[in-house]
Amino acid sequence: MKRKRAEADLAKFIHDIGWDWKKFEDRRYCPNCRALLYRVDDRPYDGMATVNGIAIPIEVKASKLNFAFSELKKHQEDGMLEWQEKHNRYKGCWIFLQMGDQKPNSKQPNRRRCWLITLNAFLDIRTLCSMMETQTLPYSEETTNRKKLKDLQISATTLLGKWELKWIPGGWSLPREHLFNTYYIGARHDQPTIKA
């Protein structure tokens, strides 16, 4: 359920910034009997955001309080790296990660948060966590019982700060300083406002 919510949040976010979102179907059911007609599990990413001929692959991941890096399957990682290499784009593929078990506007410590991270930065964070002998990324220092991670402040809330999307009533918003904004949208926001 949390992954479906994350997919819906990403689709709304992409539409809110004026882009199109194409979610690739990984299974199809018969409209009459609801039997599974086909299933495709080897797609490297969940969908593509597109605007003005620019296509950006985005893979959606979700977890409550502890994200397992094994959720990014080998074929997904290889497929996205291949796409980046083929299209000569270091910044090409993105991971939309949603964590937390409370409402995003909650005052609770484990409120739902979203991060839009470049694939390469995500892989660097995975490598860092691997060096700390962990295969998971905790939501925060308070949600892990590993002293080493607490002491070094290894968590999504500390490591992914610059990638975080902001919650506003009605959905997720892209901060001006976010790299996605810098790479793809920034020029549009930097134009002076013209008043009639």
Q: Coil, strand, or helix at residue 157?
A: helix
For residues 62 and 5, the answer to whether their CB atoms sit within 8 Å is: yes
Measured in whole angstroms, the distance separating CA 165 from the mean position of its chain's CA atoms is: 10
- Please count the residues of the chain: 196
104-121 pLDDT per residue, tens: 888 888 889 999 999 999
Selected residue with higher pLDDT from 193 and 1: 1
SS3 breakdown of the chain: % helix, strand, coil, rounded to 5? 35, 25, 35
Q: Coil, strand, or helix at residue 118?
A: strand
- Parse the chain into domains and list their residue ranges: 2-24+44-184
28-83 pLDDT per residue, tens: 778 888 887 765 556 667 777 887 778 888 999 999 988 999 999 898 899 889 88
Give the bridge partners for 22, in sequence order.
48
Is this prediction's pTM over 0.85?
Answer: no
The CATH class that applies to domain 2-24+44-184 reads alpha beta
User: Residue 116 has what pLDDT?
Assistant: 95
User: Residue 150 has what pLDDT?
Assistant: 73
